[in-house]
Amino acid sequence: MKVEKICCIGAGYVGGPTMAVIALKWPEINVTVVDIDDDKIDMWNSDDLSQIPVYEPGLKDIIKQTRNKNLFFSKNIEKAIDESQMIFMAVNTPTKQTGKGAGMASDLTYIENSARTIASFANSHKIVIEKSTLPVRTAEKIKEILSESKNKFTFEVLSNPEFLAEGTAIQDLFKSDRVLIGGESTKTGQEAVQSLVEIYERWIPKTKILTVNVWSAELSKLASNAMLAQRISSINALSALCEVTGAKIDEVSNAIGYDHRIGDKFLKASPGFGGSCFKKDILNLVYLCQFYGLDEVAEFWLHVVKINDFQRERLAKKIDNYVSANNLNKEVGVLGWAFKKDTNDSRESSSIHITYSLLEKGYKVNIYDPKVSKNRIMEDINEVRNFKKTINPDSIIDNIIIHNSIKDLENSSLVLIVLTEWDEFKDLNKSKEDKIIFDFRNILEEKENIYRL
Ligand SMILES: NC(=O)c1ccc[n+]([C@@H]2O[C@H](COP(=O)([O-])OP(=O)(O)OC[C@H]3O[C@@H](n4cnc5c(N)ncnc54)[C@H](O)[C@@H]3O)[C@@H](O)[C@H]2O)c1
């Protein structure tokens, strides 16, 4: 199939950057990204590039080169679907809040609605691509919805999960470790796979493009995230043991990482994993295991999340114990709200949970992050407040001050807690001997007043 137009449903952290890179690599293809959130589309179209909704190093430059040439952000979903030969679905798949599987399974409402929209507006054969992370066998459900299309056009459904990491998304898209494409073994299924392979082949070496069956592609994404999160929880579990035994977690990580069978990546102790994906994808995996009667397997993966919660609460208690033992004021400065550096995404960030735990213990909390907006920070705190149905919620909000610069924050609190590894926090090493710093990212050198994990 000759691909001249591509549509992507979902203009978020995945849809925006991935389509920007495809547009850059394929100037002869028109790529249109659509979203039900009109404000988000306006932000993507903003003249001021600092207003685009996703912050990623390198992204602004690509948008500058491609936007309104062959990359479009549009509210006209119907037209984009109608005109495109290939349609990516990059919509959110959060954890279900109600109904069967609540708190565990993926909420597929957005993906199902997207499939219904495609079914309504498609006017010719389409290749429909799952970019969102989905439970294994979701393609079956999507095919079912598409087959109800009143126009009776044909569809091929592929799974092409995204492996980019926020903060390095553009670099990851340019030099992907692998691109995974799952398709049916039928002739038309394999033709569709080939069409997508051709898109990626322009910049990804053929040896890194893996073609597999649809279920393997869907499951590989969940499995990859579960394995990554498992490493973080493994090293964080060991960090607790280091603390009580006098071993140093960085030295232990380093020693472990020298073993080539283990490797040295993803072995850094931290306040726990965050981001929109790890927790929800593991819970989804747990739900799938339970569904298929694999209770022991489900329990194994669930503990990866439990250790993450344990690490957050353990670190909040560590601060509280220090403050009580030294008779200090219950006031701290939180450095970093994003779940990792180089992104403005704070979804599921450990900062939210550690801060909230301190607020519940009666602390006044000063917060600074270079990229996450004040509104976002307050929304994050309000979400937890509503979820926990906190008694006397106003006292929580009254105890939060959000600062515009690291200097303001430093002046406000004696005890500082580094929760995101932003480069600008590394300078804390030079000056602040009058401060007590808890460095939960291990980016500062150990000193009398600096406590690392
Ligand atoms: N963020 C990541 O780092 C990452 C990496 C790999 C995979 N993923 C997966 O990719 C998917 C998208 O993640 P994200 O972080 O980009 O989410 P996001 O919330 O940033 O973006 C999703 C967008 O889809 C839009 N949307 C929802 N329903 C729609 C509909 N029916 N029509 C049009 N637009 C609709 C939303 O308004 C939102 O803007 C998820 O399944 C996620 O698990 C995310």
User: Which domains, and CATH codes, for the chain?
Assistant: 5-212 (3.40.50.720), 223-452 (3.40.50.720)
| Ligand 1 nearest-atom number relative to CA 166 | 3
In whole angstroms, give the CA distance from residue 266 to residue 272.
Answer: 12
pLDDT the model gives residue 431: 67
Name the closest-CA residue to atom 19, ligand 1: 92
Percent of the chain with pLDDT over 70: 99
CA of 120 relative to ligand 1 center, distance in Å:
21
Residues with a CB atom less than 6 Å from ligand 1: 9-15, 34-37, 40, 90-93, 110, 113-114, 117, 132-133, 162, 164, 166, 276-277
Nearest ligand 1 atom, CA 117: 31
pLDDT in tens, 143-194: 999 998 777 789 999 999 999 999 999 999 999 999 999 999 999 999 999 9
- Record the tokens describing residue 386, joined without a space: 């509503």
**Ligand 1, atom 12, residue with closest C-alpha:** 92
Q: Which residues contact 191 (CB under 8 A, 6 or more apart)?
A: 1, 156
Band the pLDDT of 275: cuts 50, 70, 90.
Answer: very high
Q: Are 323 and 415 in contact (CB under 8 A)?
A: yes
Locate 195 and state its tokens.
């069409």
CA of 4 to the centre of ligand 1 (A): 24
Q: What percent of the chain has pLDDT over 90?
A: 92
- Predicted confidence band at 326 (pLDDT cuts at 50, 70, 90)? very high
Residue 432 has pLDDT above 70, yes or no: no
Ligand 1 centroid to 132 CA: how many Å?
A: 7
Residue 256: name the closest of 265, 421, 440 by CA. Answer: 265
The atom number, within ligand 1, closest to the CA of 106 reads 41
Ligand 1: which atom is nearest the Cα of residue 10? Answer: 24
- CB 40 within 8 Å of CB 8: no
* Pairing mode, strands 450-452 and 436-439: parallel
Query: Of the residues 164, 277, 279, 349, which should be mutated to test ligand 1's pocket, given the most ligand atoms within 8 Å of the CB?
Result: 277
Q: Tens digits of per-residue pLDDT, 363-396?
A: 999 999 999 999 999 999 999 988 887 777 777 8
Distance 328 CA to ligand 1 centre (A): 43
Across 39-63, average pLDDT: 97
pLDDT of residue 226 exceeding 80: yes
CA torsion, ordered 173, 231, 352, 373, to nearest 10 deg:
-20
CA of 71 to the centre of ligand 1 (A): 18
Distance CA 108, CA 147 (A): 18
> For every residue of the chain, which 3-state class applies, written as one string?
CCCCEEEEECCCCCHHHHHHHHHHHCCCCEEEEECCCHHHHHHHCCCCHHHCCCCCCCHHHHHHHHECCCEEEECCHHHHHHHCCEEEECCCCCECCCCCCCCCCECCHHHHHHHHHHHHHCCCCEEEEECCCCCCCHHHHHHHHHHCCCCCCCEEEEECCCCCCCCCHHHHHHCCCCEEEECCCCHHHHHHHHHHHHHHHCCCCHHHEEEECHHHHHHHHHHHHHHHHHHHHHHHHHHHHHHHHCCCHHHHHHHHHCCCCCCCCCCCCCCCCCCCCHHHHHHHHHHHHHHCCCHHHHHHHHHHHHHHHHHHHHHHHHHHHHHHHCCCCCEEEEECCCCCCCCCCCCCCHHHHHHHHHHHCCCEEEEECCCCCHHHHHHHHHHHHHHHCCCCHHHHHHCEEECCCHHHHHHHCCEEEECCCCHHHHHHHCCCCCCEEEECCCCCCCECCEEEC
Q: Which of 44, 73, 92, 177 to mutate to test the pocket of ligand 1 (most atoms within 8 A of CB)?
A: 92
> Looking at residue 142, what is its pLDDT?
97
Residue 3: pLDDT above 70? yes
> Looking at ligand 1, which atom is closest to the CA of residue 13?
16
Determine which residue's CA is closest to atom 11 belonging to ligand 1: 132
* Active site positions, annotated: 277
For residue 399, give both structure tokens.
């105890």
Name the residue of 37, 91, 136, 342 whose CB sits within 8 Å of the most ligand 1 atoms, as the mutation to test its pocket: 91
CA of 348 from ligand 1 middle (Å) equals 15
Nearest CA to ligand 1 atom 20: 12
According to the model, what pLDDT value does residue 217 have?
Answer: 97
Best mutation site among 7, 9, 13 for ligand 1 pocket (most ligand atoms within 8 Å of CB): 13
How far apart are the CA of 111 and the centre of ligand 1, in A?
9
Q: Residue 89: which H helix or E strand, with range? A: strand 86-89
Beta-bridge partner residues of 439: 418, 452
Identify the burial level of 221 via C-beta atoms within 10 angstroms of its C-beta, where 0-12 means exposed, 13-18 middle and 19 or more buried.
Answer: buried
Least-confidence region, from 57-61, 98-102, 387-391: 387-391
Predicted local confidence at residue 386, as pLDDT = 86
- Cα radius of gyration rounded to whole Å, the chain: 23
Tell me the pTM: 0.93
Q: Name the residue with the closest Cα to ligand 1, atom 18.
A: 12
